[in-house]
Structure 1
Amino acid sequence: MSLFAVLFEDDQQNAAAIRKDYLQRHFAFLEANAASIKTAGPLSREGDAFAGGLWIVEAQAFDDVNRLVKEDPFWSAGLRKSVQILQWNQVFAEGARV
């Protein structure tokens, strides 16, 4: 298994309405996929409450992560403007090399 960082940029058009209508479905999706999506949360820029999101995913391959991205209700609702999937190798945690 590998770790992947998934960076989302949100489409700001209708973002507040989409987030309101789909937030509970998005949370249910994250909970249902907790074995793979290890952590997730919103990203913001100065002056923007929500600019996108970040997931850390444990999966076999990029295709597995891409499948998760496309199954997220926020994706199908059009909230996400773009996504980057990057393999990540953790080398430092809690003050020490791993």
Structure 2
Amino acid sequence: MTYIVLFEDAPDADPDIRKTHMVQHLDFLEQNADKIAAAGPLSDPAGQGRDGLWIVTSGSVEQVDQLVREDPFWPTGLRKSYVILKWTQVYANGSRLIQPR
């Protein structure tokens, strides 16, 4: 199954947390490339960076939750919260991936 993980950053987090822990975070993502297909920060309409998103392939929500908690960013206080959503992709690369009934 494919899941989207939406992270909400803590508004009072140290602004240097990302920079301080980025190498470990990227190492973690690379070590879990078989599960984490894509990851990255989000920005608001004004271009201000905030929050984050992962696209994950996993057998269960519990496994995704465990993955989030193993990320070196998790214990730093950067993340305020996260939500895991099941995602069904219906369109990609100009093509339908499903046929409506």
TM interval, shorter chain, is: over 0.9
TM-score (norm 2): 0.90
Q: Matches of residues 17-96 of structure 1 in structure 2 within 5 Å? A: 17-47=16-46, 49-96=48-95
Q: Which runs of 5+ in 2 are unaligned?
A: none
CA root-mean-square deviation? 1.2
Q: Which runs of 5+ in 1 are unaligned?
A: none
The structure having more radius of gyration, on CA atoms, is 2
Identity of aligned residues (%): 47
TM-score (norm 1): 0.92
Report which of the two has the higher share of helix. Answer: 1
Distance 1:86 1:14 in 2: 25
Q: What residue number does 2:6 align with?
A: 7
Q: How many residues align?
A: 97
Distance 1:79 1:95 in 2: 36
Report which of the two has the higher share of strand. Answer: 1
Give 3-state SS (helix, strand or coil) of 2:48's partner: strand
Distance 2:7 2:30 in 1: 18
Distance 1:30 1:71 in 2: 10
